[in-house]
């Protein structure tokens, strides 16, 4: 089985976010970038298929050279080879087209992507890829087993879970549940050294449509001032007279 794991390079959630050029561009200065958490769950599940079933695991990322440290981490975790599409991932439709082209050229049986990235939260790339490739698709996937050409998946739905049986080739939009957080892997020194020797191919993007353009970014409104009550009586008074909620 040949697996492609789609990796997004996203800001760590502890990073302080700022914008430049009149709030039209994201300021990357001082920001630590990591593997998108939903993608990391998928990568860890792919490593299970590699170890238990002898699968070959490749990773693919749309991004400029600055994403390569994140890709090297994925290679250090155990992926066999990396593919970087040399373009700025500013639009989900554009990204999906680039990744679909990699799938077409690579002959992959299983494509694992996160259901969404934690920066733009678009949640569109896996589904668009599956449509472009005419492949089966399971979104919000929380469990996946493969036996030959048959895949059994569990996905979250409103109010519960749904078990699905389908065939390869398959695209999934994965999330926590594919593996648990305790199963995520930290690269060891041997893995880091081996990652330096693994192939990281850089390919130029195909001519593809960008369906959206970012016009401006807005930060959430700042939190209001906080007043502390020294007693229950004072708290009740503040809620009644100032907040007027009782």
What digits encode the pLDDT tens for the residues 63-112?
999 999 999 999 999 999 999 999 999 899 999 999 999 999 999 999 99
Is 142 a residue whose pLDDT tops 90?
yes
Write down all domains in the chain, each with its CATH number in brackets.
2-219 (3.40.50.620)
> What's residue 224's pLDDT?
80
> What's residue 13's pLDDT?
86
* Dihedral, CA of residue 206, residue 40, residue 122 and residue 167, to nearest 10: 70
Model pTM score = 0.87
> What's residue 17's pLDDT?
85
Tell me what the mean pLDDT of segment 37-45 comes to: 96
The rounded distance, in Å, linking the Cα atoms of 109 and 83 is 17
Find residue 5's DSSP bridge partners: 59, 112
Tell me what the mean pLDDT of segment 178-202 comes to: 92
**What beta strand segments (E) does 148-245 contain?**
150-157, 160-167, 170-174, 200-203
> What's residue 94's pLDDT?
95
The rounded distance, in Å, linking the Cα atoms of 134 and 100 is 10
Sequence-separated (6 or more) residues with CB below 8 Å from residue 186: none
Of residues 217, 211, 199, the one with CA closest to residue 95 = 211
Tell me what the mean pLDDT of segment 7-35 comes to: 90
Find residue 246's DSSP bridge partners: none
Show the tokens assigned to 49: 């298929």
> What's residue 14's pLDDT?
86
DSSP state at residue 21: T
Range in 6-10, 22-26, 155-159 the model is least confident about: 22-26
DSSP state at residue 64: -
Q: What is the DSSP string of 92-126?
A: HHHHHHHHHHHHHHHT-SEEEEES--TTT----HH
C-alpha dist (Å) from residue 113 to 5, 189, 208, 242:
6, 27, 20, 49
Q: Which residue has the tokens 């080739």?
A: 169
> What's residue 1's pLDDT?
95
Of residues 199, 179, 203, the one with CA closest to residue 39 = 179
């Amino acid at each position: 089985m040949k697996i492609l794991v789609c990796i997004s390079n996203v800001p760590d959630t502890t990073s302080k976010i700022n914008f430049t050029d009149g709030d039209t561009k994201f300021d990357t200065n001082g920001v630590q970038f990591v593997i998108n958490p939903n993608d990391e769950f998928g990568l860890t599940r792919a490593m299970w298929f590699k170890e238990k079933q002898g699968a070959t695991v490749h990773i693919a990322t749309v991004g400029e050279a600055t994403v390569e440290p994140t890709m090297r981490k994925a290679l250090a975790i155990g992926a066999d080879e990396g593919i970087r599409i040399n373009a700025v991932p500013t639009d989900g439709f554009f990204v999906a087209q680039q990744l679909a082209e990699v799938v077409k050229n690579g002959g992959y049986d299983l494509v694992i992507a996160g259901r969404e990235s934690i920066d733009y939260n678009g949640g569109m790339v896996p589904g668009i890829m599956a449509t472009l490739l005419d492949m089966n698709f399971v979104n919000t996937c929380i469990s996946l087993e493969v036996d030959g050409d048959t895949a059994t998946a569990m996905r979250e739905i409103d109010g519960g879970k749904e078990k699905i049986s389908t065939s390869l080739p398959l695209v999934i939009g994965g999330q926590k549940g594919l593996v648990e957080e305790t199963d995520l892997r930290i690269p060891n020194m041997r893995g880091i050294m081996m990652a330096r020797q693994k192939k990281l191919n850089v390919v130029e993007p195909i001519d593809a449509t960008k369906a959206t353009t970012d016009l401006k970014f807005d930060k959430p409104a700042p939190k209001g001032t906080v007043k502390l009550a020294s007693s229950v009586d004072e708290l009740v008074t503040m809620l009644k007279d100032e907040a007027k909620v009782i």
